Structure 1
């Protein structure tokens, strides 16, 4: 059994019964179940969703994406051991915490395997809801160049890199390319203001203007809950991205829920508190891997310059990274997951076969 065998690199070829093409993102693949299987599972498992809600199996891989590319290592290592299980465990932990504290549900209905979620279809809010507690990263780079207005929020003079902001900032951006919204460029990941959202709430998929305030409440309270929990394990929650959507429950009531992933090292920056107090930034997130890549290649501009995407893709495709670099990020993900959840992350010996067995035996979803 090699380390490469314990990595789930390809997750779009499982024999799960589906009538639609598998949707495969950078890290997750989504298998939409047939209407018959969705209805059967809702009844058998008692999920609190509408009887005709479309369900999907979401399988997370161990692939590592950075700078919009998938990277691989020496020795046939096509991903990061334990990464998928760590990310799922962290998200599950926070989603449960939100529910326990009366914030909102998530799109997850069931967790058959550490790499698998059963989810319900949601109508997504077309906003990347970004929350920032410290000034760092892209915001610091823009601030350093003289920018003071971020998403309609004016920042004061004299802020220092990597320091806490005067208050928690919500700096939303577009999710996907939205058309015909006055003042919002037709491009992915464009910063927007609260005024943009208020004046065009339906274009962002909000059902009512009142839900803008609800989304902000769920965003700030969710951020604060995670921040408080992380501080108890000596970690700083620096910034993160949340996503929201609408679903219907079994009674037909529409509700706003958390979706995608939340509070993970992929979607957030998390710093070690002791190191920070001693003047050092130690990242417990994917940021450390990004920094490794910037230092590893002689021309970091390829990774930072969107106009050099063809060169960047070739870099990712043609270069085997040192396996130690992938093991380093593996340790980071597993350690932070175990700190957050208080449980150990177990590597599967043959993750794909385990998933097939469980979805066949317990859910009847394998042809």
Structure 2
């Protein structure tokens, strides 16, 4: 697919370092400023797919931007500006080495573990007698250790996080509190759009003055799973697959094509036609969760567009 952004190699004024994650590329500048570029890369099972998805980076960046603005009264975040559809600028933070995963329903990874007979996930008990996609009595927090690019995130319990000193008890209690508040707000926003926020993950960091803030993305299709609320109950009662908007449909396609990111497995070829359907699903989620039409940015020369917009923004900061 042409007109996608897979990799960047910018050299901004005052640039100190670059970190390349699975999807985002983060440029650290002087004055504790970060420039985060959302690429069109697609990752599943912690593996980056060979081809990009048109407009995916723009979609992720703009959903995350809107959701941070819609939750900043609850939880402080790192964001200060969005000078380009694919770019967020904000505070340089020291990230916590855990992802705070919260689940309202037995879906995805939790459902696969449950089906395998497990009833404890990350030290949290899951009730007997549940069906896939049933609602938990109370949302459960199932943290994961943060992985570098290409490595698998690993489930970890709160007890192990504290025992290993990954996060202090005082800080972890704040992370838990923020996670529940954000999930509640996300649930309310989704419900107002006819969606169910099934599960999601949040990442946090500390600013130089020691304040804990939300970083990275929030309530995007890469970090969250959504069901359509209409017909959810009926589908559960009939034992049918839920209609959903999330990256899970990509994971299911990969599983059907014998890929789960395991050693020795090869990523199946994604045709241009399939990639186009993935792009359309991302656009559908954007419009559903934001309640706004998606306006496609000019993708004739994405690299130059981003560089121009970021440089113009940085010039206003001098």
* TM > 0.5: yes
Question: Who is 1:146 aligned against?
Answer: 117
- Which whole-Å CA distance do the structure 2 matches of 1:359 and 1:127 have between them? 30
Provide the secondary structure at the position in 2 that maps to 1:103: coil
Within a 5 Å distance, the mapping from 1:3-18 to structure 2 comes to 4-5=2-3, 7-10=4-7, 12-18=8-14
Note the residue ranges of structure 1 that are not aligned, 5 or more in a row: 39-53, 73-77, 178-186
Note the residue ranges of structure 2 that are not aligned, 5 or more in a row: 236-240
Within a 5 Å distance, the mapping from 1:321-360 to structure 2 comes to 321-347=270-296, 348-349=298-299, 350-360=301-311
- Pair 160,243 (structure 1): closer, same or farther in 2 beyond 3 Å: same
Question: Who is 1:59 aligned against?
Answer: 37
Runs ≥4 in structure 1, deviation > 6 angstroms? none
- Which whole-Å CA distance do the structure 2 matches of 1:81 and 1:225 have between them? 29
- Which whole-Å CA distance do the structure 2 matches of 1:362 and 1:8 have between them? 20
Question: Who is 1:241 aligned against?
Answer: 201
- What is the CA distance between 1:263 and its match in structure 2? 1.1
User: Do the aligned residues in 1 keep the contact of 2:47 with 2:261 (CA within 8 Å)?
Assistant: no
Q: Which has the higher contact order (CA 8 A, sep 6+)?
A: 1
- Which whole-Å CA distance do the structure 2 matches of 1:188 and 1:125 have between them? 17
- Pair 325,169 (structure 1): closer, same or farther in 2 beyond 3 Å: same
User: Do the aligned residues in 2 keep the contact of 1:27 with 1:64 (CA within 8 Å)?
Assistant: yes
User: Do the aligned residues in 1 keep the contact of 2:55 with 2:279 (CA within 8 Å)?
Assistant: yes
Q: Deviations over 1:44-72 (max 9, x none)?
A: xxxxxxxxxx2121111112222333335
Provide the secondary structure at the position in 1 that maps to 2:25: strand
- Pair 120,156 (structure 1): closer, same or farther in 2 beyond 3 Å: same
- Pair 204,25 (structure 1): closer, same or farther in 2 beyond 3 Å: same
User: Do the aligned residues in 1 keep the contact of 2:57 with 2:86 (CA within 8 Å)?
Assistant: yes
Q: Deviations over 1:78-105 (max 9, x none)?
A: 4212211111111112111111xx3222
1:194 equivalent in alignment to 2:158: yes
- Which whole-Å CA distance do the structure 2 matches of 1:68 and 1:172 have between them? 16
Structure with higher Rg: it is 1
Q: TM-score scaled by structure 2?
A: 0.88
Question: Who is 2:243 aligned against?
Answer: 282
